[in-house]
A and B are shown apart, each in its own frame.
Chain A
Amino acid sequence: MSKTVTIDPVTRIEGHAKITIGLDEAGKVDTARFSVTEFRGFEEFCKGRLVWEMPSLTARTCGICPVSHLLASAKAGDVIMGLRIPPTAVKLRRLVNLGQIIQSHALSFFHLSSPDLLLGWDADPAVRNVFGLMGAEPELARRGIRLRSFGQSVIEAIAGRKVHSPGIVPGGIANPMTAETRDWMLVGLDAAQQTAEEALELFISMLGKFEREARAFGTFPSLHLGLANDAGTWENYDGHLRFVDSEGNVVADHIDVADYREYIGEASRHDSYLKSPYFKPLVEDSDDVFKGVYRVGPLARLNVCQTMGAARADEALQAYRETVGGTANSSFFYHYARLIEILASTELARDLLNDDAILDPMVRATAGINHRRAVGTSEAPRGTLFHEYQVDASGLLENVNMIIATGQNNLAMNETVLQIAQEWIDGHDIPEPVLNRVEAGIRAFDPCLSCSTHAIGKMPMEVSLLDHEGAELDGVRRG
């Protein structure tokens, strides 16, 4: 008899989510779906508001990476006003994004994922969390927390607050940087870089233990999307869009972000509020959007760029490419890519701070409403973020479209859940560690799903065994 396994709720991924795994009569995994079950509504309730308010409004989408929304929104505002913002404002925006990448990636690796990696997938859920990590690896946990704290302090110093900062505005940055701020940041970067290098070394030393995960945690061919620049270096703020395939071949390049709709389609599914963006040119039939699956985030960004543009990170990138075989197609390597991005962020932040122009007080341009449509992008820690606005002549929003990284990884996360379920589920008995592996597959993408789950101990989950008529035969609950 065929059965359905439902994991519901899987919490805190820009709302709530569930995973539904269908078993065939032999107890083998037949299907797996990842569904987001809560509606946020930002695209609707932002209508009628002013373009200058949009950065702060849309920042409320996320408490972990609000800087990404602030940047994408402020950049859309720049376009609406027809502005080229002062060069120092660009540098400060880049710097604040690097601060965010550091803090968000540190959260993902040290707080959320390293308990799995260091304590084991099968460890007792009561200790498989950041507190368990503190007990087992106190120095590592301490450094991870300090690293995140440093990233948050960079955001606070530039943009006025750690979370939902008011200082990133259309036209530039609200306040210039002081020499005092620059000096403590430069000092803090040394420790941050050291922590990043040690974490990278630790992860590489553990890779041998995770061959099965590297093979089965979402290893499949897909396209990869990221911002790119003409220099070929890792880009996280500006530039154009580039798609590469699973072999690293460039599929589409030099795409103006304003033309994203020509390349990215958005499908809706009846069982999820999360949109499923797909690469349009590969999809002829809207029922078969999986043909256009692409990934965003650290894994994709490292596949899209040629170099990191930073000495130590480039050495790490070279070793990474030797490990993954050039272009990475296993979602497990998101962790590896994330650590390289932390390292690059510390180096690139130092370069920006060593440029005296960073202290130029000219950081904000002003103008009225000069364009009706704008697209703003930024590379969020989790991937490329799009904000598209349509305004009336007085700057009031008439239409809003937001494509968030978690959404763009939606199809890939579905593939990953299916692959993990097929690899580890055998029969109708589903032990807790298998649930944890399913979670960990999602956690590799670092969507908002993983927010705080390990931090509070365990993700609340329900797994139900249902027969083909939906009646519950058995259940596993926790949290």
Chain B
Amino acid sequence: MRETRPTVHVSFDGVEHEAFVGESVLECARRCGVTIPSLCFLEGLTVWGGCRICVVEVAEDHRLRPACATQVAADMEIKTETPRLRAYRKSILELLFAEGNHVCAVCVSNGNCELQDMAVFCGMDHVRYDSQAPPREVDSSHPKYVFDQNRCILCTRCVRVCDEIEGAHVWDISHRGEHAEVITELNRPWGESLSCTWCGKCVAVCPTGALSYQGRAIGEMEHDPAMIKRLAVARNRGEWLDPGVMT
């Protein structure tokens, strides 16, 4: 059935497209086949706008806008790929790498990591900033899963999926700024959590090796963030669909 929502015209890098009123720049771009990189955004979850990888330029506005949290407007001229954007995205990635302890060669998600893929996509081949090498811990107390703080980029996908899809709200953010960290059950070891349902959605959506299954060796962890889109669509439609149908 054809969509009947009102539309406006926007342009991505000079090419005109039709956008639905109310949708975000990122949603519109993906629907139209325009590539805008993103990290914390995940279809099916609320928008967080934290990572700033999806920034775009909008004509006559000196500020960069996060595409995931910016609604389309009539005649909006959007630039998704400029030297300035490339430089910002690269810097953001370098800061993410410098802030945590990301050692791809010995990571469970090596080869299956959105952060790693993003570095490749953005051409980030080295980090100009000194590594902060923060002393962070590994929580391996859960019988099925492992949480390695060293690899966390605070995208909050785990926090959102646990709250919004599973309804358990095991995860939260504690502290602020450079001390911010993801915690489980008001900072108790994950294995002692009474609210965790062991559903594994947080592990499925994690973009890095921060959340993984127990017993996985280097490069053996594969996440499945698309699973959340299937669940969210099914729930929004009030029906349960064959996961193979919704991709």
Contact = CB atoms under 8 A, between A and B. Distances in A.
B191 interface: yes
B221 to A, nearest CB: 11
A53 B108 contact: yes
Contacts of A49: 138
Interface in A145-183: 164, 166, 169-171, 174
B17 to A, nearest CB: 43
Contacts of A57: 106
A296 B56 CA distance: 62
Interface string A364-379: 0010100000000000
A374 to B, nearest CB: 16
Contacts of A368: 143, 214-215
Contact of B216 (A52, A55, A60, A164): A52
Nearest to A48: B138
Contact of B217 (A48, A55, A164): A55
Interface string A261-303: 0000000000000000000000000000000000000000000
A258 to B, nearest CB: 23
B200 interface: no
A249 interface: no
B151 to A, nearest CB: 12
B140 interface: yes
Interface in A11-61: 48-50, 52-53, 55-57, 60
B132 interface: no
A169 B218 CA distance: 9
Given A394-B141, A395-B140, A50 B218 contact: no
A473 B213 CA distance: 63
A174 B220 CA distance: 9
Given A49-B138, A53-B218, A394 B191 contact: yes
Given A50-B146, A164-B105, A394-B191, A56 B218 contact: yes
B37 interface: no
Contacts of B106: 53, 56-57, 60
Contacts of A164: 105
A280 B218 CA distance: 37
Nearest to B111: A166
B125 interface: no
A402 interface: no
Given A50-B146, A368-B214, A396 B140 contact: yes
Contacts of B138: 48-50, 396
B219 A166 contact: yes
Say whether chain B's binding surface is mostly helix, strand, loop, or mixed: loop
Given A50-B140, A60-B105, A394-B141, A366 B217 contact: no
Contacts of B218: 53, 55-56, 166
A404 to B, nearest CB: 19
Contacts of A50: 138, 140, 146
Interface string A381-420: 0000000000000111000000000000000000000000
A231 B105 CA distance: 40
A53 B105 contact: no
Given A48-B138, A50-B138, A169 B105 contact: no
Contacts of B110: 166
Which of B138, B139, B216: most chain A Cβ within 10 A? Answer: B138
A60 to B, nearest CB: 7
Interface string B200-228: 00000000000000111111100000000
A418 B202 CA distance: 61
A182 to B, nearest CB: 24
B217 A53 contact: yes
B137 interface: yes
Contacts of A60: 105-106
Nearest to B135: A48
B137 A48 contact: yes
A221 to B, nearest CB: 42
A52 B217 contact: yes
A157 B80 CA distance: 43
B140 A394 contact: yes
Given A368-B143, A396-B138, A396-B140, A52 B215 contact: yes
Contacts of B220: 166, 169, 174
Contacts of B146: 50
Contacts of B140: 50, 394-396
Nearest to B107: A53
A373 B89 CA distance: 45
28 contacts: A48-B137, A48-B138, A49-B138, A50-B138, A50-B140, A50-B146, A52-B215, A53-B108, A53-B217, A55-B217, A55-B218, A56-B105, A56-B106, A56-B217, A60-B105, A60-B106, A164-B105, A166-B110, A166-B217, A166-B218, A166-B219, A171-B215, A174-B220, A368-B143, A368-B214, A394-B139, A394-B141, A395-B140
Interface of B: 105-106, 108, 110, 137-141, 143, 146, 191, 214-220
Given A55-B217, A368-B215, 19 more contacts: A48-B138, A50-B138, A50-B146, A52-B216, A56-B217, A57-B106, A60-B106, A164-B105, A166-B218, A166-B220, A169-B217, A169-B220, A171-B215, A174-B220, A368-B143, A394-B140, A394-B141, A395-B140, A395-B214
A-B complex: 7 closest residue pairs judged by Cβ atoms = A394-B140, A56-B218, A169-B217, A166-B218, A56-B106, A166-B219, A394-B141
